[in-house]
Structure 1
């Protein structure tokens, strides 16, 4: 078994309202960032998993996303897996 570091980036699906992103975007011109648009928020989850190989680790993390970390109706998740240091 090897240890793998995983990063799960969760974001709202296109077309789903993002009130936090809207609030941030409305505040930006007052801070001198009028040229920034399309703000969307999300969350990043870092974890480590023990598995025989990277593909198995990715499958386990994707299963964790489907069962617990995301709401598949409104959220998408991108999983990155690499050998843990």
Structure 2
């Protein structure tokens, strides 16, 4: 099955996605009001783990949501950026 985990660092957030087979993935970041700010990734990912890095410097302190779809898996991740 498809899954993910998150690693926080001082300057970045790394999202690791595990896909059981090659699949389409679309992820976008939204602010807490639900406004889409940016497409983070749109395209194919291969079987196994893939990494997506978000630079914290691109965003103000606050709550954000990463939403999208990876294969058959809906993704809705809440993140908090502190500076």
- TM-score by shorter chain over 0.5: no
Larger radius of gyration: 1
Q: Return the structure number with greater relative CO, CA threshold 8 A, min gap 6.
A: 1
Higher strand share: 2
**TM-score, with normalisation over the residues of structure 1?**
0.32
